[in-house]
A = this chain, B = another copy of it.
Amino acid sequence: MKKAAIISVGNELLNGNTVDTNSNWLQKRLLSVSIPVVYSCSVVDETDEIKNAVEYVLGKADIVLITGGLGPTDDDLTRQAIAEFLNTELEYHPDIYEKIVQFFAAINRPLAENNKIQAYLPKGTSEIPNALGTAAGILYQDSTKLIAAFPGVPSEMQQMFDLYVYPKLADLNKDSFIVIKKIKCIGAGESVIAEMLGDMMVRGRNPLINCTVDHGIITLHIVAQSNEKKVAEQAAADDLQKIQTILGSLIYSCNDQSLAEVVGQMLSEKKQTVAVAESCTGGLIAKMLTDIPGSSKYFTYGWVTYSNDAKMTQLDVDKKLLERFGAVSSEAASAMALGAMKKSSADYAIAVTGIAGPGGGSEKKPVGLVYIAVASSKGVKTERFLFGPRNRDFIRLRTSQVALNLLRLNLCD
C-alpha cells in the first residue's frame, strides 16, 4: 500500500501566526483514495530545510505533498529545494510566463520583475497549472515516488490538487481500498454510546469504529478496509445499518451535515417556519440557522432579549413571572417561546435562557444552568440543563446545539 507524507513550508507556520489547515484537508483527500498519511512536518523558509525534509520523509512514504514556498519573493524556496533534491537546475518555461503575464493583465495590475521566477521549474518536472494565481505547482514522478508541490493558499492548492494530482493518486492505489462512513450523534455521552455499540468498538476490528467528541457532538467513523472495493463498501454499509438500528434518533446525520442543516431541511420539507428567542446564547442560534443558504424560507424572526425589559416588551413575558421565578427559569423559557411563536406566527419557536458565565452564578443557579423551550401547535416543552462549570463559549455553543436538537426531535415526532 502506498503511503504519503506532507511538508508544509513557511515561517508563519512555526511562529504562531498561522495554523496549518492544508495538511488536514490533504489527509482527508488522501484517505478517500485509501492512502494513509504517515508523517507531516512544518519547516522554515530555507532551501536546505525543505530539501532535507523531502529526503527524510521519503524514508517513510512514497508520495510527498509540499505546500507553500512557491511565491515570487526571495523567501519562496520550494522550487530551488526540489531542484537541489533532484540534483538538477531550474529551467525557464515561456508558456508558464505567458500565463503569468495574462493573469496580471486580467486583474489589471502591473507585472513585477520578480514574478518571472514563477515561470521556472526544476528540470525533469512538470507544471501543475494554477487557474487562480501565478504560482504554478511542480510535479515529479518516477517508478518509486511522486512529489507534488503546491502554493500555500488553500483555495489554489485545493483546486490544483483535485484537478491534477488526485486522479493520479487514485490510479496509483488500485490494490487497496478504504471506505469511510461518518455518523453524527447528539444526546448521549461518548461512554454511553461506546457501551451501546459494545464489541463493535474493539480496536483492531475491521471495519474500525473511531469516535471523536466535540461540544456534545459525537462523531463515529466507520473505516472499512479491503483489497476489493465491493467488500469494503459492503462491510461499511453493514456497520452503518447496525449502528443506525442501535443508536436510533441519537443520530442526526449520516451525510456530514450540521444540526442547523438537518433542522433546516426538515422545516423546508414540511414547509414550516421557526422563530428563536435567545437570552444567554445572544444570537448564536439564529446565526447557526442563518448560516445555511436559503434559510430565509423557514427562519423569519429572531430576538435577542438580553435584558428583562426586552423579554417583557418584545415577547410579552409577564413582569410578575420574571419577579417570581427569575429570568433564568423554566417559566421564563416557556413564556419566551410562546411569546416568540405568537409574535412571529411561526410554526415552531425555540427559547433559551441561562447563565453563560463566568459571572452571574449562584448556588441555586450556577454557571451553566440553562432552560430550553420548544413551542409548537402541540404546546410548549421546556427542559433544564447543567452545562457547567465550563467556559462561556462552551456553554453558549452547547446550549445552541442542544436547542437545535430538541427542535429536531420535535420535528421527528
Contact = CB atoms under 8 A, between A and B. Distances in A.
A198 interface: no
A283 interface: yes
A306 B302 contact: yes
B301 A305 contact: yes
A36 B19 contact: no
B300 A303 contact: no
Contacts of A203: 74-75
A43 interface: yes
Contacts of A15: 27, 31, 36-37
Contacts of A313: 343
A244 interface: no
Contacts of A343: 313-314
A314 B304 CA distance: 12
Nearest to A210: B17
A50 to B, nearest CB: 11
Contacts of A248: none
Given A291-B392, A343-B313, A40 B14 contact: yes
A314 B291 CA distance: 22
A36 B344 CA distance: 56
A357 interface: yes
A221 interface: yes
Interface in A370-413: 392-393, 396
Interface of A: 12-21, 23-25, 27-28, 31, 36-44, 49, 56, 74-75, 203, 210, 212, 221, 276, 278, 281-287, 289-291, 293-296, 299-307, 309-310, 313-314, 343-344, 357-359, 392-393, 396
